Structure 1
């Protein structure tokens, strides 16, 4: 959008309310009736209609409808046994997505952005969507600007990086414009909303912080898409050729030709695989939501399970959010203790409690001496200081490296002594000029050093021990002194915490690239550097997760493979992240990782069952075409095998606990697990057809024998992938086996199971015996191949 377009006036009568009183209740009601509220243009989640449509109107469902119509036309009603499975699949998908929508929408409401607004002379908090045109809102550090506004009182520093791509802070004073999509870095102001809802930038951007990159998918979903697309393309030509060959060349009846074609096509369709993956992710998202972890983007559940580098901040992650003043050390005898405490109290009184440091200072220094502030600058994350100018003197408090400049060497030993103990040290001193929030032109004359501390989170050592055991490397990226951060990291039990570096020395991309692989702790990191660190780690082939809670974390959160925010942090960090820890409890992270590993590992295991049938059906269909024979099995027999050796075991096994490390690529793993059983099926069913023809066994007998043989191999592979067995897995295996046998005995007509001739029984028994060593040796071969691929990866 062009600037001229932004400045166009909205054709409504404007209300210039006093910034101390705001709009009245009647004016709010009028604005609501006019539709001038701040509701987003797009719904944040799928509607019920969209969920139903996504699960019903799919490519494969269209194929199944066509197949059903063909079977009905030829009168083969028995072969419609696959329809209940398809309907059940669609219903499960719809029900699970609706349940997930309900849970996530409720939690999203609890975590929805809110804004402080002045109405009827009182300051109240309302959901950002309920703001109206001309509302007087109050913005503080960490707040996301939810609608286009103009500052009417106060001064703030604003980061517009989400709009412009530049991370420089811009000072905004009365009369300046605040753009929705940017956020407040420091200071407090009151602003009048100029454009809301569909008229504002936020509606067109939908906030880059909330958006995911279009079309981006996790490795698992990309792999499943490839499998589904391949099957979707292959079934059409193979289906046509099979029908043409059976009807026009082999001169079977149209009913037999359709049955043959449908059996092959049904076998090639992985109808439950993609659904199983979607349902698994949805259920995981629901479980995490119940445990107070909000999932903005479900693909991150898998991504976090694959993470091998986790970037964390010190404050709020390793330590508690609350900061306290531990001591005050005078720099010289020039100022008495009472004078120092009075100066710090006056300084703190003039500042807003818009960050943890200033909040700690205001709580500790609460006995002002009465000095009147004539100007202030809020804390700058870029220049690491804040300031207050009194009548004739200006005072600054900030990071010693930034405010002491060339005088740092005089006090370095004293500062390092406290830093080595895990304390944060701030230098408080007198400045010769008038600070403007930008870089100081000269060193301050130190008055004292304020010693701050954050207690280590009680469960932090246990959490970091878990990640060390799981092979996840920790990188501590902080804006604090690297010595301090290193000591805190040691206390938290982070491996290699003694390897630290001052990020101010990393001035080139090559230096950053080298540092991210060598060091564990990074201090004095700027917001832009955090982003560069994440990018450098990704270029090094790492899967990177980033945690953060402040506005200075948002750029890195956007670039990380998986981003995690604390709900107690800034609005923009929570909205930029894929996962939000609603209780700001970092100890929840192992549970999230375990949930992701369970999903991926179980889908690799369960998904291989689906692929067995698909590979077998494709190979057998191609063999039928090449050798000019009719596809040997009927649709109802394929459905019977699918239910008890694929669908039911895959569904139940996909929810078993599984915390194993993820090794190798998803598509390679799933194919190498499926190939031994698929090839075993091809060998024994192919042999059954070949020798059945030699010994003049009828086609119905061959079909029944093939069904039995495939069922036996299916139960073998279910048993194999269920290892190590426990009572639950053994119960699933026995249930599926009994169900399979019962259906063959009591519902034989429904599933086209006929009595077999003695010759056929003998062949079936022989090939059943051969199946076990065939599967065992093929499994050993492909296991070696799989281990080779994993080693290469």
Structure 2
């Protein structure tokens, strides 16, 4: 999935630069003007001044060469280069010179929450078992799920740190986490010959809307916590079957894992600076909308919180919803890209920040893509600016 996103973003594009476009337009018109001017100069030298052909050509060249605006191109390049040096002192790697100009024109910044507003790491603060489940058994299952993933994300790393003990249950099948599905899964053989398939992911995706566990999840989301659901799949369902969303129907909720996200110490000041500069900040995240809204609220960013699953499919209508909203949760990678395009259709100059492969498409299509230095290789490759110290 990551490779597909990276391949789609690998097409070559240049940053749009009004300065560069303006200079190209000037050069085009100057080029056309040089032809009749040269003819006129030769005629005037031969006929009016009655000079010989060799001298007429020399004087014509002397009159034409100064028409080439070399200094305009040189001074613009120098201005870009000075900007690159100044940003370099602030640990910003500029990968395309015109990105300097693009920064000055940005009026909307789309911020990915994880890794941008919050630090990459998380901490497990609470384990809430449901339906009288055995807490010791649940801890063991979480430990096994953590050890089953060779490349755990930030949430799973926090779970591994909290529940490191494993019993050596045999892993028969796994389904890695996907930002499109919002859950992962694994089938474990606990030694009794009856493999059990477990899911770990977003409660509001795995459970029906009327499940009582969602009320508790909503309350913790409003406090800015990130909540994951540990659920048991129906008998006979394997982790391989979970790729089909219909296979998660009828799962039994076993426990809620509450994670606390670490806010970046400089995030509040940066958002305040954007507001002073009349730059609109939009928080776009794949996490629960209420939780993301609570995090944004702690950083002083007020506004409407929207679940992206309820956004209009029509780009024109979506653009209006994006302008009215501030925080958007449950956003898929493709939706991030669509949202950037919708804002651009309204005449906005959009910057997008991110650190994961799921941000690649939006970073590529944004007027200015800003990647974190600790982000994925694909993200750094498509961005125009890389923040080497991860501080935006």
When the two chains are superposed, the root-mean-square deviation of aligned CA atoms in Å is 2.5
What CA distance in whole angstroms lies between the structure 1 residues aligned with 2:30 and 2:225?
Answer: 61
TM-score for both structures, normalised by structure 2: 0.89
Cα distance, 1:564 vs structure 2:
1.1
**1:255 positional shift:** 11
Offset of residue 290 of structure 1:
4.6
Change (3 A) 1:571 1:162: closer
Does residue 414 (structure 1) correspond to residue 221 (structure 2)? The answer is no
Is the 8 Å Cα contact of residues 353 and 359 (structure 1) preserved in structure 2? no
Give the TM-score of the pair, scaled to structure 1: 0.45
| Displacement of 1:247 | 4.9
Which residue of the partner structure matches residue 160 of structure 2? 362
In 2 relative to 1, CA 314–218 (structure 1 residues): closer, same or farther, beyond 3 Å?
same
Q: Name 2:322's counterpart in structure 1.
A: 516
1:260-659 to 2 correspondences below 5 Å: 264-265=63-64, 268-332=67-131, 334-391=132-189, 392-408=195-211, 410-432=212-234, 433-436=237-240, 437-438=242-243, 439=245, 440-494=247-301, 497-506=302-311, 508-510=313-315, 511-586=317-392
Distance 1:460 1:499 in 2: 19
Q: Paired residue for 1:213?
A: 13
Query: Aligned equivalents of 2:182 and 2:163: distance in 1?
Result: 20
In structure 1, the gaps of 5 or more residues are 1-156, 166-207, 587-793
Question: 1:373 deviation in Å?
Answer: 2.6
C-alpha deviations, 1:166-205, integer Å up to 9, x for none?
A: xxxxxxxxxxxxxxxxxxxxxxxxxxxxxxxxxxxxxxxx
3-state secondary structure, aligned to 2:322? helix
Shift in CA distance, 443/477, structure 1 to aligned 2, threshold 3 Å:
farther
CA contact (8 A) 2:16 2:367 kept: no
Distance 1:239 1:471, change over 3 A: same
Shift of 1:405: 2.7
1:542–1:217 distance in 2 versus 1, CA, 3 Å: closer
The residue number in structure 2 matching 1:715 is: none
Bigger Rg, structure 1 or 2: 1
SS of 2:121's partner is coil
SS of the residue 2:214 aligns to: helix
Query: C-alpha separation between the residues in 2 aligned to 1:257 and 1:574?
Result: 56
Between the aligned partners of 2:360 and 2:314, the Cα distance in structure 1 is 20
Q: Go from structure 1 to structure 2 and tell me whether the alpha carbon gap of 1:331 and 1:508 turns closer, same or farther (over 3 Å shift).
A: same
Q: Confirm or deny: 8 A CA contact 1:407 1:443 kept in the other structure.
A: no
> Of residues 22, 26, 33 in structure 2, which corresponds to 1:234?
33
The structure-2 alpha-carbon separation of the partners of 1:372 and 1:253, relative to structure 1 and needing over 3 Å to count, comes to closer
Q: Which has the higher strand share?
A: 2
If asked which structure has higher relative contact order (CA below 8 Å, sep 6+), I would say 2
**Offset, 1:230:** 2.0
Return the offset for 1:583: 2.0
Q: Distance in 1 between matches of 2:170 and 2:59?
A: 92
Measure, in 2, the Cα distance between the counterparts of 1:251 and 1:488: 81
Contact 1:512 1:532 (C-alpha < 8 Å) held by counterparts: no
| Distance apart, 1:250 and its partner CA | 5.1
**How many residues align structurally?**
381
- CA distance 1:572–1:289, shift in 2 (3 Å): same
- Relative to total residues, which structure has the larger helix share, 1 or 2? 1
Q: Which runs of 5+ in 2 are unaligned?
A: 190-194
Q: Quick one: distance in 1 between partners of 2:141 and 2:6?
A: 38
